[in-house]
């Protein structure tokens, strides 16, 4: 299966509320492959980043978790949070108001991946 976008989960603990998040998954952003480069969509507390890169290695710092995702149509969501998760869900077309943290988004994507693997009887890998 080919993926339209990739969601990257990192351990970014530069904020005061990071202590309340999962110990390894505290931030997420979206990478979209486009011909010979990658488009990166990332929301941080200071700004919204949108840039291109020629190599994934320039974007990704260890440790990280990357999940492939088949992008769905977006919905008009009036309750979108202005967080990395809110922006990622909007880009992915996920309309679940109970996904609030990067770890919850990771669990949601992992569950969808397992369900797709069961349907196709493929390997059962996380993201």
- Which pLDDT tens digit goes with each residue over 51-96? 999 988 888 877 888 888 888 776 666 667 888 999 999 889 898 8
Q: What is the token pair recorded at 60?
A: 């990704």
Q: What is the pLDDT of residue 78?
A: 63
- At residue 106, φ and ψ (nearest 5 deg) are -60, -45
Q: Which two tokens stand for residue 19?
A: 């202590």
In a domain, 127, yes or no: no
Range of the domain at 22: 5-120
Say whether pLDDT at 123 is over 70.
no
* SS3 at position 34: strand
Report how far Cα 8 is from the mean position of its chain's Cα atoms.
Answer: 5
Residue 1 has pLDDT above 60, yes or no: no
Q: What is the pTM of this model?
A: 0.83
Q: How many domains does the chain have?
A: 1
Q: Is there a domain that residue 86 lies in? A: yes
């Amino acid at each position: 299966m080919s993926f339209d976008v990739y969601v990257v989960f990192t351990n970014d603990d530069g904020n005061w509320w990071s202590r309340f998040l999962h110990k390894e998954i505290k931030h997420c952003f979206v990478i979209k492959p486009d011909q010979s480069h990658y488009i990166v969509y990332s929301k941080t507390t200071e700004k919204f980043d949108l840039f291109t890169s020629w190599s994934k290695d320039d974007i990704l710092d260890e440790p990280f978790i990357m999940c492939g995702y088949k992008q769905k149509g977006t919905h008009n969501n009036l309750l979108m949070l202005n967080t990395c998760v809110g922006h990622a869900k909007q880009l992915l077309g996920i309309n679940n108001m109970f996904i609030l943290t990067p770890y919850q988004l990771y669990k949601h994507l992992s569950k969808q991946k397992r369900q797709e693997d069961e349907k196709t009887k493929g390997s059962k890998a996380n993201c």
